[in-house]
Amino acid sequence: MSDAPNPDSAAAPPPSQKDPAAAPGAQPYDFRGSSLLSPRQMRKLRAHETQFLNAMEARVALFLRVAFPLKLAGIEIVSYQKLTEGWTGPTHLTLFKTEPLRGVSILEIPIHLGLTIVDRLMGGPGRVEETGRELSEIERALLDQIVQIILEEWCNNWAVIKPLKPALLGCESSGRFLQTAPPQTNMLTLALDAALGDCRGQIRLAVPYVAMEPFLRQLCGVAEPAVEAPAAPAAAPARWNRCLDDVALPVTAEWQGLELTARDILHLKVGDVLQVNPKLARQVTVRLGELAKFNGRLGTVAARWAVELTEAAKP
């Protein structure tokens, strides 16, 4: 009896001869992005930008006379092309420069959040139905007031390294044809989760990475070795009087700049609004008893008002 193979049965190819199209192919990987910053540098940058969020949250809340909680959603470095691909629908894009830095930066505010802010600025409750329409010219002019506050606080946060000044260049409602940088340009992007009443949205601030690289080196760089100084004689340790452990000392925070006549004060009633200069939120005096001991700036912690101490008050 013959052992010849059956010609109708197809033999399975050896593993080495399988169809190469069935195997997953190599995928391109973009080595640009957040890998430009080490974990240590990213931690320092997040802490630095959290200070910006606290100051911005306090100023916007004072300007709108309503709570405006913010949360740092993320920091990443993406290409300009990938950034523009994220603008799928109508949005509010503000183009600006930060003098003396080179390049054009972009601030994005979602349309729904922008309209809600405008409604609040016009005396409304800050509630707007979802809509796909663009902002009118008047609404853009009103929203520019909040944009200016955001950019001023972001520049103020970098003033310890170098003074910056924001300059608005214009605005767009779509990034489809927007080309402020080559597609491969790296953009340092901050994502901020914002809320106004029931409205939620994400504000994004994108700055050319090459313009911010010197700032990041100074912020995140290795500290220079300190020059050894001659050892000072040890001071005698201060001794605390335990009798003062339970003594209550009033702590108050105040700022100046609002003056009213006696007649105006007599006519104040519930519901009246007193206009306060937002810049005064960074000039808070903290008193221990009757003595001014510290200067600070207004902010929030866990949805409650707080004051961050920035320096000792001058005697």
Give yes or no for a contact between 93 and 107, defined as CB atoms under 8 angstroms apart. yes
Confidence of residue 22 (pLDDT cuts 50, 70, 90): very low
Do 255 and 283 meet the contact criterion of CB atoms below 8 Å apart?
yes
- Tokens for 196? 């106004």
Q: What is the CA radius of gyration of the chain?
A: 28
The CA-based dihedral angle spanning residues 294, 299, 302, 305, taken in that order and rounded to the nearest 10 degrees: 70
250-258 mean pLDDT: 81
Mean pLDDT of 272-296: 82
Do 69 and 196 contact (CB within 8 A), yes or no?
A: no
pLDDT band at 192 (very low <50, low <70, confident <90, very high): very high
Q: Is the pLDDT of residue 77 over 70?
A: yes
Checking if the pLDDT of 223 tops 60, the result is no
Whole-number pLDDT of residue 40: 84
Q: Check pLDDT > 80 for residue 156.
A: yes
Instruction: Quote the tokens at residue 18.
Output: 């399988």
What mean pLDDT, rounded, does the chain reach?
A: 82
Beta bridge partners of 190: 75, 205
Q: Is the pLDDT of residue 92 over 60?
A: yes
CA distance 215 to 155: 12
Which residue type sits at 301?
A: V
Domain boundary assignment for the chain:
34-220, 249-262+278-315
Residue 232 has a pLDDT of: 63
Architecture of domain 34-220: 3-Layer(aba) Sandwich (3.40)
Q: Is the pLDDT of residue 282 over 60?
A: yes
Give residue 221's pLDDT band: very low, low, confident or very high (50, 70, 90).
low
Range with the lowest mean pLDDT among 53-62, 70-79, 304-313? 304-313
Q: Where residue 231 falls among pLDDT bands split at 50, 70, 90?
A: low
Rounded to whole angstroms, how far apart are CA atoms 191 and 74? 5
pLDDT of amino acid 87: 83
CB atoms within 10 A of CB 5: 8
Spatial CA neighbour of 80 closest among 193, 209, 172: 209
Q: Which residue has the tokens 């950034």?
A: 83
> Considering only 74-83, 172-181, 227-236, which range has the smallest mean pLDDT?
227-236
**What does pTM read for this prediction?**
0.61
How many other CB atoms are found less than 10 A from the CB of residue 191?
16
The pLDDT of residue 33 is: 46
- Residue 307: CB atoms within 10 A of its CB come to 21
Q: What percent of the chain has pLDDT over 70?
A: 83
